[in-house]
Every structure is written in structure tokens, then in C-alpha cells.
Amino acid sequence: MTGYGRAEGEVNSRKFIIELKTLNSKQFDMLSRIPPVYKEKELQIRSILQQKLERGKIEITVNVEDSKADVNFTINRELARHYYNEIIGLQKDLGVENSNEILATILKLPEVIQAVPDVLEEEEWEGMQKIIHQAVALCDASRLKEGKVLENDFTERIASIAALLLNVNKYEDQRIVRIKEKLKADLEKFFEEKKIDQNRLEQEMVYYIDKIDITEEKVRLNNHCNYFLQTLAEADTANGKKLNFISQEIGREINTIGSKANDGDIQKLVVQMKDELEKIKEQLFNIL
């Protein structure tokens, strides 16, 4: 499910700006943009996000701004002194006059100026974790807001499918009468009226009509719709996969009704139910 959260705070003169973006995914997939000094905590950050956000394609960006200039280099004095002695010795050997630019030259030589590795202190990491949790909370709130919109949409579409199912009843009796009349007319084309065994004909009609009866499918479809709404209303539970399975069952019953109905009016209702169900399935990919 898509979401966004941004939090910032200051720890030990450093300002942290943490952004979270999430998209739906079947698994937990984290993409991190973190300064090198914090890379050692990447697994712990992953654990925090997975525990709170469960799954999805999650992108975390950590920006750090220093509020004061830190000394992050040192001069290797012993190496600089060695360079100086060698240069002075070379000048004497070559008879070159002393130069005022010797110091500037020495500072440019390899490894005279060395970077001091930045060390992540425990206090700074604890402060950073608090900001991460703030960003996660905001991101989760964003997802919940979108989820509420989707919940309303699902509820309306399931209600639409249920209403269309009720409309099927209007055409059911007429459908059975038409099928019986057509079956009898087809038989009379091949047999003379006096040669037809009426009892056998009635038995065959009952058998045929039983095969095209959609009563059970209608009951199951109605039950699946109610179960979908019941599952949707369950709080504090990630039911995206479960809802997807229920939608598959709904689709199976709709298809069976369409194939057994053999009626133009009912087929139109089936097409509309399929349209509503496809829109539900599209959005199911966006929830946990």
C-alpha cells in the first residue's frame, strides 16, 4: 500500500531528516539511501521497518546535516617531517635555494592529511531510532488513510454485486419456463405427439433443469460477498491475501452462474458483476 512519512530531529548537533515511501509488494523489499557511517545499522533499520510496516516496497532516505563544523581530518606530523627533511636534503644536493612554498607542497603529498573516520555513537543511534519511528508512524497513518478510501470502495462494489444478484431472481422463473418450452418444442420436431412418453419427458426435463439450476451458486455467491465484508471489517489484521482468495471464489460463482444461466438478461447482470469484481481485484494489489 502506498504511503509517505517524513520526520526530522536533532541529535548531538546533527539534524536528521528521514523520509519513507512505500508501495505495495507481496514481500518486504527495502531500498535504503543512508550515509556510510550509518550503514552498520542497516539490518536494525530493516528490522524496525519490517516489524511496523510488515511488507511492501519500502524506500528509506536518511539525510544528515551538521549544525557545526566538525574537525574530520588530521595531519600526519611524523610523515610531514620526513618529507620536509628529504626535501631540504634534496635542495642542498641540488644547490637550490630554500623555498617558502615547502609547507604547502608537503601538505599536498600523499597521506600527510588523513581523514578521521566518523564513529557512530550509541547516543546518536538511539536518537536516530526515535526519528525513524516517527517517520514510520506518519507513513503508517498515510497508509491507513488510503486504506479507508479503499475500504469504502470495496464495500460499495460488493453491495453492487449483491444488488445485481438479487436482480437475477426477476428473470429466474421466466428462464425456466422458456427452457422447458424450448426443450419440448425441440423434441416435438423429431417425434409425433402420440409417441412421446410424457413421464419420460418430464423426467428428462427435471434432469436437464437440475443441471442448469443456479440456486446453489446464488447462495454461495451471497455468502462469499458477506464473508468479504466481514473480513474487510476485521481490525488490526492484514487481510489482503485473504480478501484476494475470497474474490477468487466470488469470481468462480459469477462465472458458473453465467455459464449455466443460458439467458440473455442474466448474462447482462453477470457482465456487470464481473466488471465490479475486476475493479475490486485491481485495488486488492494495493492493500496488505
pLDDT at 222: 93
- On the question of pLDDT at 80 being above 60, the answer is yes
The C-alpha angle 43, 46, 52, rounded to 5 degrees, equals 145
pLDDT at 210: 67
| C-alpha span between 78 and 157 (Å, rounded) | 78
Q: Residues of CATH 3.30.230.40 domain(s) within the chain?
A: 3-68+121-142
CATH domain 146-284 topology: Four Helix Bundle (Hemerythrin (Met), subunit A) (1.20.120)
Q: Which residue has the higher pLDDT, 140 or 117?
A: 140
| Mean pLDDT, residues 72-100 taken together | 77
pLDDT at 236: 62
- On the question of pLDDT at 36 being above 80, the answer is yes
pLDDT at 211: 72
Q: Which residue has the higher pLDDT, 94 or 257?
A: 257
CATH value of 3-68+121-142 in 1.10.1060.10, 3.40.50.300, 3.30.230.40, 3.90.79.10: 3.30.230.40
Q: From residue 209, give the alpha-carbon distance in Å to each of 5, 24, 25, 140, 171.
A: 59, 46, 46, 53, 15
Lowest mean pLDDT among 99-113, 114-128, 181-195: 181-195
pLDDT at 20: 93
The 10 Å CB-count burial string (b at 16+, else e) for 114-126 is: eeeeeeeeeebee
| Mean pLDDT, residues 34-49 taken together | 88
Q: Is residue 69 within a helix (H) or strand (E), and if so which, with residue range?
A: none
| C-alpha span between 39 and 57 (Å, rounded) | 19
- On the question of pLDDT at 38 being above 70, the answer is yes
User: With bands split at pLDDT 50, 70 and 90, how would you rate the model's confidence at 100?
Assistant: low
- On the question of pLDDT at 74 being above 80, the answer is no
Q: From residue 88, give the alpha-carbon distance in Å to each of 92, 101, 106, 178.
A: 6, 12, 12, 114
- On the question of pLDDT at 89 being above 60, the answer is yes
Q: Residues of CATH 1.20.120 domain(s) within the chain?
A: 146-284
pLDDT at 46: 92
- On the question of pLDDT at 252 being above 90, the answer is yes
